[in-house]
């Protein structure tokens, strides 16, 4: 039985063109700065992001970690959303490896953090306090329905940061989803932030890799931090080759993932026993709730699993489905049929 895997857009497999590019990639030792394909990917990434320089890293987690560790010194404080991926799902790396102090502030359902909440979390100069150094945002915001952050909001956070001489890092793992959903060039979305991480291996379908971008000076430092973390990757042109195809060919088609997510969300809304808040679903991530206690979460997942449909539980009675390159509109219809069937049979 073919499975329909909606657990994440990280399950995407490389396209035939990526496999072909991987097999003929020109390679060298990137730790010596000699891998031509990696250098090409980094130049392309910096250009597309409108930043001076870029660095390939193995994962989004390492991208965020390399940036936070490069921006901050031990004992300094990082302000970030309480629903942010970096706080919830990156194994506490900034504290474990950098001695950084995460200060969480409430994320609103649209992925923003109120400016006044950020401002009141900024520390004054006092021997008792850690020093605030960095503010982190996430665009799109995974755990807040994949919401895209509008550029005016990011600009307002950067303005606030500048007033207090703070830095801003953006976890833009899905920044191209934000760009496509908002119809705004990615350069504009990240124009004023000090650093950004974006992922090749999510909606863009490359098998591995993320890229961090920032000033030339900052990226030179991140190279060093990446080395400390064991992230120097030698002939990583085989990764970069797929990344170049991802950036050249895979961005526009993300609109299809958003349409499929919308189709899925609309369908879920009409299924008795499920509930969904449609308001913030604008990209490829769909959260919904099992609204009837007669069907247990385990049974729900097992019954759908038996029909080849994979997705994640993301909290009590809450589930997540993510659309991507491997999912078609027909798959969505099949998922909706299966959801209806399971709910009808068990309620």
In the complex, the residues that contact ligand PLP under the rule CB under 6 A are 10, 59-61, 85, 138, 142, 171, 173, 199, 201, 210
Q: Which is nearer to ligand PLP, 10 or 340 (CB)?
A: 10
CB of 174 to ligand PLP, least distance (A): 6
Residue whose CB is nearest to ligand PLP in the complex, by number: 60
Work out how close the CB of 305 gets to ligand PLP at its nearest, in angstroms, rounded to a whole number: 21
Residue 85 vs 262, nearer CB to ligand PLP? 85
The minimum distance between CB 342 and ligand PLP, in angstroms, equals 27
Q: Is 152 exposed, middle or buried (0-12, 13-18, 19+ CB in 10 A)?
A: exposed
Count of alpha carbons within 13 angstroms of residue 278, beta-carbon side:
11
Other CB atoms within 10 A of residue 179 CB: 23
Alpha-carbon gap, residue 32 to 237, rounded angstroms: 13
The secondary structure of 87-106 as a DSSP string is HHHSTTHHHHHH--EEEEEP
Indicate the residue among 60 and 214 with the shorter CB distance to ligand PLP. 60
The minimum distance between CB 80 and ligand PLP, in angstroms, equals 11
Closest CA to 174 of 328, 58, 60: 60
Candidates 246, 237, 154, 218; CA nearest to 191 is 154
Choice between 225 and 273, CB closer to ligand PLP: 225
Q: Which is nearer to ligand PLP, 10 or 192 (CB)?
A: 10
CA angle 273, 144, 174 (to 5 degrees): 120
Q: Cβ of residue 138: shortest distance to ligand PLP, in angstroms?
A: 5
For residue 107, report the phi and psi dihedrals to the nearest 5 degrees. -80, 135
- 111/151 with CB nearer ligand PLP: 111
State the nearest-atom distance from the C-beta of 238 to ligand PLP, in Å: 17
Burial environment of residue 287 by CB neighbours within 10 A (0 to 12, 13 to 18, 19 or more) = buried
Give the nearer residue to ligand PLP in terms of CB position, either 37 or 107: 107
Helices and strands (H and E) in the chain: how many: 14, 13
Smallest distance, ligand PLP to C-beta of residue 214, A = 17
Nearer to ligand PLP, 206 or 309 (CB): 206
Q: How far apart are CA 163 and CA 156, in angstroms?
A: 11
CB of 135 to ligand PLP, least distance (A): 16
Q: Residue 141 in 3-state DSSP? A: strand
Among candidates 325, 25, 100, which has minimal Cα distance to 200? Answer: 325
């Amino acid at each position: 039985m073919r499975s329909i895997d909606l657990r994440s857009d990280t399950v995407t497999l490389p396209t035939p063109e990526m496999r072909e590019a991987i097999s003929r990639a020109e390679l060298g030792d990137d730790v010596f700065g000699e891998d031509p394909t990696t250098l090409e990917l980094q130049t392309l990434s910096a250009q597309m992001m409108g930043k001076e320089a870029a660095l390939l890293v193995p994962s989004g987690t390492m991208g965020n970690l390399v940036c936070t560790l490069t921006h901050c010194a031990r004992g300094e404080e990082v302000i970030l959303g309480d629903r942010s991926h970096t706080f919830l799902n990156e194994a506490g790396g900034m504290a474990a490896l950098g001695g950084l102090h995460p200060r969480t502030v409430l994320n609103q359902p649209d992925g923003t953090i109120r400016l006044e909440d950020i401002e009141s979390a900024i520390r004054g100069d006092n021997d008792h306090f850690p020093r605030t150094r960095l503010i982190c945002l996430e665009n799109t915001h995974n755990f807040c329905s994949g919401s895209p952050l509008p550029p005016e909001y990011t600009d307002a956070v950067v303005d606030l940061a500048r007033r207090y001489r703070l830095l801003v890092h953006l976890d833009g793992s899905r920044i191209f989803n934000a760009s496509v959903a908002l119809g705004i060039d990615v350069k504009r979305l990240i124009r004023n932030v000090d650093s950004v991480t974006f992922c090749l291996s999510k909606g863009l379908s490359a098998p591995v890799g993320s890229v961090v971008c920032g000033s030339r000076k900052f990226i030179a430092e991140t190279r060093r931090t990446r080395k400390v973390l064991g992230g120097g990757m030698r002939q990583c042109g085989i990764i970069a080759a797929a990344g170049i195809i991802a950036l050249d060919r895979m961005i526009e088609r993300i609109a299809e993932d958003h349409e499929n997510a919308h189709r899925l969300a609309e369908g879920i809304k009409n299924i008795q026993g499920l509930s969904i808040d449609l308001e913030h679903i604008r990209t490829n991530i769909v959260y919904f709730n099992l609204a009837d206690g007669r069907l247990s979460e385990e049974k729900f997942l097992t019954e759908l699993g038996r029909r080849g449909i994979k997705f994640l539980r993301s909290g009590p009675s809450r589930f997540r489905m993510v659309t991507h390159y491997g999912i078609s509109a027909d798959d969505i219809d099949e998922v909706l049929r299966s959801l209806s069937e399971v709910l009808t049979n068990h309620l």
